Chains A and B, each alone.
Chain A
Amino acid sequence: MKKVQFKSNYSQYFFLAPQLGILLIFLYWPIIQTFRDAFTMQDAFGFGRQFVWFDNFLFIFDDPAYFIAFKFTIIYSFVITLVTGAIGLLLAVNANNVMHGKSAYKTLLIWPYAIAPAVVGVMANYFFSERFGLLYHLFNDLWGFNWYESVFDSYIYLLIAGSWKQISANFIFFLAGLQAIQKSVIEASIIDCKSSFRRFWTITFPLLMPTTFFLIIINITYAFFDTFGIIDTTTIGAPSGETRTLVYKAYMDGFRGLDLGSAGAQSIMMMLIVLVITIFQFRYIEGKIHYN
């Protein structure tokens, strides 16, 4: 913290008021309601509310659909993180080595970041439609691709739709990470080691660990929350609910099924998962990274 500060002073309340006000009314109040929903059950007519302890939680654990959504969310986050990270890194290394037209290369790769997931989904839809989808027909000729029926094929569909835009984010951060590495370190390593491949894995990549780590968190958050718009405009969970993320399922249960108790319990489970990931970040991975 700063050594020189203002003394506590009435103006601080003025500066804090807008954000604290918004957070209290539009964030804390709904969170409290989420907990109330999760531990109570409403009767069918919306009158009266009964405290039911963990019944809503036991109910979602009994639901096979919850585990299907859980499995899909984990697989999807893992694969998205791996694929977009690897491609983003590859492109960033290339961009960093380009001598001329670096900024054109950068511009060419950055803009998909700005496109909404729902827009990406609608576009992907056109490439995977049975009627005129180019990728649908290409894959169909290769191995009989049919995402309406095959779980594996619907995963492929969502992986391609979900990765396209996220590659940009990975590219931006890896490029910034590469540019932050000091020139002298690179020059010294060139003298010590001739193979550029080995140089990358022993010198450059360890120096990129903080960036890599940050991106893992960004990619997981993306796969958990932002993919809602993609799923809702592509598979809508097909085939038979196999491609619903936890967020998508919670929304459908709350909105279509009007089961706010279950939606609340599912939200709290998600909060716990996010909390565990965050703690894991601070405890286990941060300690093992070299910061330059």
Chain B
Amino acid sequence: MIIPVWLIFASSTHTALIINTQGLQFFLGDKFLENYTKVLLYEGGFFKEITALKMFLNSFLMATGVAFLSVISSLMTAYVLVYFRVKYATLLFWIIFITILVPLELRIFPTYSVMSTLNLVNSYWGLIIPISASAIATLFFRQFYKTIPDELLESAKLDGANTWRFFIDFLVPLSKTMIVAMFIFMFVFGYNQYLWPILVTSSEQYWTVVMGLKMMSGSIVNKFAFVIMSMIPPVLIIIVLQKYFIKGIFQDK
């Protein structure tokens, strides 16, 4: 699985001339620094008005925003669904979970028109909010809360904990692994968005890395370098935090 990525990486350290005449390279060349710094720092060459560095910053802001917003809102919603005696509990449950059946791709133009009504086109909020409108994390938190023994709430109640205290002092610390797992999941999900950023950003200043792949122009080795760099953030996160991710998703303790 790693071979194709290696070939592109090795090729990204050669000159364009070598690639064009001899094809993809298996061994490393000596143009690593030159090719990569050119992509990262020069504007006006590779893209028109934005450096790749700025695009990485945009992607990072978008992915972190999506992860924070969806994890916090899902954590709170799941709390009410599991721990409150709500009158219309079943209705509430369906209002939230039916949304999983309607991914953004199915409502993309109307979502765009809502964003332009609210004046959120070409803004970070415009990139973040519609991607965070997802109930997948809620489903995971709900499943997790259901495995917590009833005695926890009983004893917390005896200690006089109210709804806020119980949430902040008991539930959030207990859900730590799950929170990290969902954060990773939503971060990667946000970072990897392609279609929505293309639609919602007309100004280059808000371009993200993944959508930028479509806009690349310039020498082939610089393109290779950009493709390799675009993979690094999510792959690094998955590899480093693999343990939490797997633990959270499969809920084995």
A residues adjacent to B (C-beta < 8 A): 1-9, 11-12, 14-16, 18-20, 22-23, 25-27, 29-34, 37, 106-119, 122-123, 126-127, 131-132, 134, 164, 167-168, 172, 176, 180, 221, 225, 228-229, 232-233, 247, 251, 254-255, 260, 263-264, 267, 270-271, 274-275, 278
Residues of A within 8 Å of B211, CB to CB, are: 118
A267 to B: closest C-beta gap in Å: 5
Q: Main SS of the interface on chain A?
A: helix
A292 to B: closest C-beta gap in Å: 14
The A-contacting residues of B in range 70-112, CB under 8 angstroms, are 72-74, 76-77, 79-80, 82-87, 89, 92, 95-96, 99, 101-103, 105-111
- Report B217-249 CB contacts with A as 1/0, cut-off 8 Å: 000000110010011001101110010001001
- Supply 11 further A-B pairs (C-beta < 8 A) apart from A7-B84, A107-B239: A2-B146, A7-B85, A15-B77, A18-B72, A19-B96, A34-B107, A108-B2, A123-B4, A123-B227, A126-B24, A247-B105
Residues of A within 8 Å of B69, CB to CB, are: 18, 22
Q: Which residue of A3, A116, A123, A134 is within 8 Å of B234 (Cβ)? A: A116
Can you identify 5 A-B contacts, CB atoms within 8 angstroms?
A: A7-B84, A16-B80, A25-B118, A115-B235, A229-B210
A176/B107 in contact, CB under 8 A: no
A119/B99 in contact, CB under 8 A: no
Q: Which residue of B84, B102, B133 is within 8 Å of A9 (Cβ)? A: B84
Residues of A within 8 Å of B230, CB to CB, are: 116, 119
Residues of A within 8 Å of B144, CB to CB, are: none
Docked Cα-Cα span, A74 to B243, in Å, equals 35
Residues of A within 8 Å of B48, CB to CB, are: none
Nearest opposing residue in chain A for B86, CB measure: A8
B80/A15 in contact, CB under 8 A: yes
B24/A122 in contact, CB under 8 A: no
- Knowing A11-B164, A19-B74, A23-B96, the reply to whether A122 touches B84 (Cβ < 8 A) is no
B16 to A: closest C-beta gap in Å: 11
Cβ-based interface call for B150 (8 A): yes
Q: Which residue of B114, B157, B210 is within 8 Å of A118 (Cβ)? A: B210
A19/B76 in contact, CB under 8 A: yes
Docked Cα-Cα span, A16 to B78, in Å, equals 9
Q: Which residue of B20, B166, B213, B237 is within 8 Å of A132 (Cβ)? A: B20
Residues of B within 8 Å of A31, CB to CB, are: 102, 107, 110
Residues of B within 8 Å of A247, CB to CB, are: 105-106
Cβ-based interface call for B138 (8 A): yes
Docked Cα-Cα span, A168 to B135, in Å, equals 24
B29 to A: closest C-beta gap in Å: 15
Residues of B within 8 Å of A118, CB to CB, are: 192, 194, 210-211, 213-214
B114/A267 in contact, CB under 8 A: no
Q: Main SS of the interface on chain B?
A: helix
A114/B227 in contact, CB under 8 A: no
- Knowing A4-B153, A119-B231, A176-B246, the reply to whether A9 touches B163 (Cβ < 8 A) is yes
Residues of B within 8 Å of A123, CB to CB, are: 4-5, 8, 227
Listed residue (A108, A113, A126, A271) with the most chain B CB atoms within 10 angstroms of its CB: A126
B238/A29 in contact, CB under 8 A: no
A122/B135 in contact, CB under 8 A: no
Residues of B within 8 Å of A29, CB to CB, are: 110, 114
A116/B194 in contact, CB under 8 A: yes
Listed residue (A30, A109, A122, A132) with the most chain B CB atoms within 10 angstroms of its CB: A30
B84/A8 in contact, CB under 8 A: yes
Residues of B within 8 Å of A229, CB to CB, are: 192, 194-195, 210
Residues of A within 8 Å of B84, CB to CB, are: 5-9, 12
B214/A12 in contact, CB under 8 A: no
Residues of A within 8 Å of B114, CB to CB, are: 25-26, 29-30, 33
Residues of B within 8 Å of A263, CB to CB, are: 109
Docked Cα-Cα span, A274 to B102, in Å, equals 8
Residues of B within 8 Å of A113, CB to CB, are: 238
A126 to B: closest C-beta gap in Å: 6
B105/A225 in contact, CB under 8 A: yes
- Knowing A37-B110, A123-B5, the reply to whether A228 touches B105 (Cβ < 8 A) is yes
Cβ-based interface call for B129 (8 A): yes
Q: Which residue of B73, B79, B83, B188 is within 8 Å of A114 (Cβ)? A: B188
Residues of B within 8 Å of A4, CB to CB, are: 150, 153-154, 157
Nearest opposing residue in chain A for B117, CB measure: A29
Docked Cα-Cα span, A134 to B239, in Å, equals 29
Q: Which residue of B107, B129, B163, B195 is within 8 Å of A228 (Cβ)? A: B195
B195/A251 in contact, CB under 8 A: yes
Residues of A within 8 Å of B113, CB to CB, are: 30, 33
Cβ-based interface call for B23 (8 A): yes
